[in-house]
Amino acid sequence: MFPPLTRAMAKQLYIETVGCQMNMLDSELVVASLRKQGYEVVDSPKRADAILFNTCSVRQHAEDKIYSALGRLKHAKKYNPGKIIGVIGCMAQKDQRLIFDRAPYVDLVVGPGQLHQIPELIQRVEAGGGQQLEVSLDRKGGSRSQVEQSFESYDPLRDPQMRPTPFQAFVRIMIGCDKFCTYCIVPSVRGPEQSRPPAHILAEARQLADEGCREITLLGQTVNSYKYADGGRTWRLADLLAELHEIDGIARIKFVTNYPKDMTDELLTAVRDLDKVSPYLHVPAQSGSNRMLARMKRGYTVEEYRDMLARVRATVPEATVTSDFIVGFCGETEDDFQQTVELVRASRFKNSFIFKYSERPGTKSVQLYPDDVPEDVKKRRNNELLAVQNAISEEDNQPLIGRTVEVLVEGPSKNAARDDDGSDALQLVGRTHCDRIAVFDGNRRQIGQLLDVAVYDANAFTLFASVVTAHVGPEVFQL
Ligand code: 5AD
Ligand code: SF4
């Protein structure tokens, strides 16, 4: 029998996560496994016994930030020689030993396919085993199945405190990507596309529901390419949604990120017919120019993207659609850019994430094309596109004023969290089924509930609302 861990005995873990939701989920799993080893999570690296950076490689900027954070830890071991410093996730897979070269005091470099080994690797460092490097095979480093096996998915351990909120959780349904868009590092750092067995996903969702989770977000780099052959049956995302819909307790199901070419009618019908599935689709277009789309090797034309969007609007008229765009990709002219502006104008996305092209070593575009759009031009195009999108977001939020919408209450709003004095009455933030953000005055006990709120004002990003009491307005919109 082990005595219970007292606070003084618990080791302290500081974990910093950058990048996408996949990384947030990975951090949750890493924390869950380290808690078993007696770690508690703290919010400052200063006195932590272990510091982990869960990293992203999609853009140079994200990597620069991690290398500067590592630079600041240069003397961290002076006062605590036993402190463990680890770099995990995509940048660990991409840079491998280079991280030890640039920051020799790093103890662990662990790729996204080896995260389950972290507790053991930390023990090895503690036992004097020196620097530990665990990464997957390069995509050309073996047969497909060898490479696949070197990227292990690892999902059963969960940690409610590391979720966005205790009642919202991510569920991974796929790992990796096989699309090889020319600008993108993901297929090399996250490995081949692999779908998880439906039985595992369903069991995990049931467990989350039992723990009080109301909303699950299915994750995959191209989530709608999900495909799993099981006996005589092939499961697609639509089949999975239908089964997840039956789980009591789960009120909302979302899924990100979608690949435009795999947005089948069958999937759209499932979104239309299954009440719990949010009418919210993130389908990155990346560009409105066919010349750029071809250079990016996205596999569709802008006409095909528009047709896909028309099918979305026809099948699920109330759905909000969001997109990603890269501006300043290799060879992008003003005319190409204007075609992107045109696509944004015509598509009326709820919002768009806009990125300046960032050249990634090892990707196809580096070999094929010079990164020839100057930084100031990228910046201007980014701002211009964002302004067009924001004007649309604001316009499209206006019709919601005067309506009642249902929100899942996520917690104190940013302002309330900053000035939190512990009182029960506070400003809350919630999200509609369509992923719109609403703030309203409420009570702490409403956190985690589905609540009707009446919208009285709106800007591009936020609905301002008040909680509806039972006798007001019978009609609630799932907007
Ligand atoms: N440069 C800039 N943005 C990129 N993205 C992916 N790779 C790059 C890159 N090299 C963007 C895409 C993708 C989002 C997650 O990041 O828009 O959809
Ligand atoms: Fe990257 Fe393209 Fe795969 Fe998305 S679909 S992860 S952009 S390669």
Tens digit of pLDDT for each residue in 410-421? 999 998 888 878
Q: Can you give the pLDDT at residue 155?
A: 67
CATH of domain 163-278: 3.30.750.210
Protein fold of 7-149: Rossmann fold (3.40.50)
> Is it the case that residue 104 has pLDDT exceeding 70?
yes
Conformational region of residue 402, where left means phi above 0, alpha means psi within -120 to 50, and beta covers everything else: left
Residue from 45, 72, 67 nearest 56 by CA = 67
User: By the 8 A CB rule, do 247 and 205 touch?
Assistant: yes
Binned at pLDDT 50, 70 and 90, residue 107 comes out as very high
Which of left, alpha, beta for 132 (phi over 0: left; psi -120 to 50: alpha)? beta
Ligand 1 environment, Cβ below 6 A: 58-59, 183-184, 284, 286, 324, 326, 355, 357-358, 360
| Res. 450 pLDDT band, cuts 50 70 90 | very high
Q: pLDDT (tens digit, 9 = 90+) per residue, 333-388?
A: 999 999 999 999 999 999 999 999 999 999 999 999 999 999 999 999 999 999 99
Ligand 2 within 6 A of 186 CB?
Answer: yes
pLDDT at residue 282, as a whole number:
98
Could you tell me the distance, in angstroms and rounded to a whole number, from the CA of residue 287 to the centre of ligand 1?
11
Distance 249 CA to ligand 2 centre (A): 33
* Sequence spans of domains, the chain: 7-149, 163-278, 401-467
Where does the pLDDT of residue 1 fall: very low under 50, low under 70, confident under 90, or very high at 90 and above?
Answer: very low
- What is the maximum alpha-carbon separation in the chain? 71
- What CATH code would you report for 401-467? 2.40.50.140
Q: Is the pLDDT of residue 152 over 80?
A: no
Taking the centre of ligand 2 as the mean of its atom positions, its distance from the CA of residue 47, in whole angstroms, is: 38
127's CB contacts (< 8 A; 6+ apart) are: none
* pLDDT tens column, 32-86: 999 988 999 999 998 899 999 999 999 999 999 999 999 999 999 888 889 999 9
Q: Is the pLDDT of residue 17 over 80?
A: yes
Ligand 2 neighbour 287 (Cβ under 6 A): no
- Mean pLDDT for 126-154 is 89
- Of all ligands present, the nearest one to the C-alpha of 191 is 2
CB 81 within 8 A of CB 128: no
Interval between CA 298 and ligand 2 midpoint (Å): 8
- In this prediction the pTM is 0.94
Confidence band of 158 (pLDDT split at 50, 70, 90): confident
Bigger pLDDT: 333 vs 232? 333
